[in-house]
Amino acid sequence: MEKRNFYFDNAKFILIFFVVFGHLLRSFIEDNETIFTVYKVIYSFHMPAFILVSGFFAKGYYEKGYIQKIAKKLILPYLLFQGIYSLFYYYLYNRPSIDMDPFNPHWSLWFLISLFCWNIMLLLFSKFKPVYALTGAVFIGLAIGYVDWVSNYLSLSRTFVFFPLFLAGYFLKKEHLALIMRPSARASAIGIFAIATALFYLYPDINYQWLLGSKPYAEMGAASFTALLTRLGFYLLSFLMVFSFLACVPKGQYFFTRLGKNTLYVYLLHGFIVRLFRESDLQNYFNEPEQFLMLASISLLLTLLLSSGLATALTQPLIELKTAKLHTLKVRLTAMLKFYRNKRFN
């Protein structure tokens, strides 16, 4: 593995940790202003950064078979987990019927269908110069908020709102990353994070739903010209926070680096545990600052567990429709058993 890959694997692992932590924090944002601030800071960069990094790795979209490969990687797991989550919610919430609507993504599954759409949209937007393509994408993201029927259906709202970040990642080059990773950029990044945190804390009435990109302006009570300016401001915030995050990502190899390749597993699987947590009495235990630090530790352990070799081997048939990792695990276990058996009888 080249050193530059360590950087992106580190980034993806850290981001998926924040996804898990943010989802666990959701239960407490109405009760604790500090937690609400942390929640908004996390949401200002974690999915935008994931989207930008995804765009960076979409440069091979023009290769033969790429779209078919992406469809298999994203749409098939989306449809499968849409059904699994439908059954899960039916039993968890004692619903009267099973909602199997494939066009209305359950919770975090929106990312899969949006990611597929972003790759398709590259076929058009990549033909233009970056400045024109990005300007057009931002304009569409701003304008789509005035279309009231564009919301969670097929994840259309998020698809259009977050597309500028994906497109920026596509146009991002190694030279740009070199500038971002300079020590001076890291110092600026820490300052930007501090300022953003202070603003969210000092202005608690900022509607966090602007960070989600999932609703039209009318549903957020802002269907006027000021809504466009507000979304434009959040675009600026997201880009600043994303590049600030990227400036702080370590470039070396660590114990979690190789697990950064398995973020899709964590993304698809952690929702079951988070939903069970939200419906349990365990969340009543978390009400002090040190206990929320414990929640962060639990998030890290959960991220490590779901991205581990064992978890990915057992769930690869569902997520990637492959059994390679399961076969490798079986071979290793067989070899270990054979080794200890021979050692015992020799």
Residue 296 has pLDDT above 70, yes or no: yes
Rounded to two decimals, what is the model's pTM?
Answer: 0.93
Cα separation, 319 vs 322, in Å, equals: 8
Query: Which has the minimum average pLDDT: 60-64, 178-182, 227-231?
Result: 60-64
Q: What span, in angstroms and rounded, lies between the C-alpha atoms of 195 and 92?
A: 40
pLDDT for res 2: 45
* Per-residue confidence (pLDDT) for residue 155, from 0 to 100: 94
The pLDDT value given to residue 200: 96
Q: What average pLDDT does range 94-104 have in this prediction? A: 88
User: d(Cα 157, Cα 114) in Å, to the nearest integer?
Assistant: 9
Instruction: Quote the percentage of the chain above a pLDDT of 90.
Output: 73
Predicted confidence at residue 202, as pLDDT, reads: 96
- pLDDT at 4 exceeding the cut of 60: no
pLDDT tens for each residue of 112-126 = 999 999 999 999 999
User: Residue holding tokens 């239960």?
Assistant: 27
Which long-range contacts (C-beta less than 8 Å, at least 24 apart) are formed by 37-41? 37/197, 37/200, 37/201, 37/204, 38/197, 39/208, 40/200, 40/206, 40/208, 40/211, 41/193, 41/196, 41/197, 41/200, 41/241
Using the predicted structure, report yes or no on whether residue 291 has a pLDDT greater than 90.
no
Long-range contacts of 273-277 (CB under 8 A, 24+ apart): 273/302, 274/20, 274/23, 274/24, 275/88, 275/89, 275/92, 276/92, 277/24, 277/27
Can you tell me the distance from the alpha carbon of 15 to that of 50, in angstroms, rounded to the nearest whole number? 7
Residue 56 pLDDT > 80, yes or no? yes
Q: Mutual orientation of helices 225-248 and 46-56 as an angle, nearest 10°?
A: 70
Going by pLDDT thresholds of 50, 70 and 90, the confidence category of residue 107 is confident
Q: Which DSSP category does 252 fall into?
A: S
For the chain, what is the mean pLDDT? 92
Residues 6+ apart with CB under 8 A from 57: 8, 169
Least confident of 32-41, 49-58, 213-222: 213-222
pLDDT for res 93: 92
State the residue for tokens 């419906």: 279
Mean pLDDT of the region 208-213: 95
Render pLDDT for 156-174 as a digit per residue (tens, 0 to 9): 999 999 999 999 999 999 8
With cut-offs at 50, 70 and 90, classify the pLDDT of residue 330. confident
Question: Who's near 30: CB < 8 A, 6+ residues apart?
Answer: 36
Q: Which residues make Cβ contacts (< 8 Å) with residue 245, sequence separation at least 6? A: 11, 15, 45, 49, 189
Please state, in angstroms and as integers, the Cα–Cα distance from residue 236 to each residue in 28, 105, 182, 317, following that order.
Answer: 27, 27, 21, 40
**How does pLDDT run across 144-160, given as a tens digit for each residue?**
999 999 988 999 999 99
- Residue-by-residue DSSP string for 138-181: HHHHHHGGG-TT-SSGGGHHHHHHHHHHHHHHHH--HHHHHHHT
Mean pLDDT of 33-52: 96
Is it the case that residue 199 has pLDDT exceeding 90? yes
pLDDT value, residue 1: 36
Q: What average pLDDT score do residues 303-312 get?
A: 96
- Categorize the per-residue pLDDT at 346 as very low, low, confident or very high, splitting at 50, 70 and 90: low
Q: Which two tokens stand for residue 341?
A: 């058996």
Is residue 303 within 8 A of residue 13, CB to CB? The reply is: yes
Q: What is the pLDDT of residues 31-42, one digit of tens each?
A: 889 999 999 999
pLDDT at 345 (0 to 100): 63
Burial class (CB in 10 A: 0-12, 13-18, 19+), 112: buried
Give the N- to C-terminal CA distance of the chain in Å, as an integer: 39
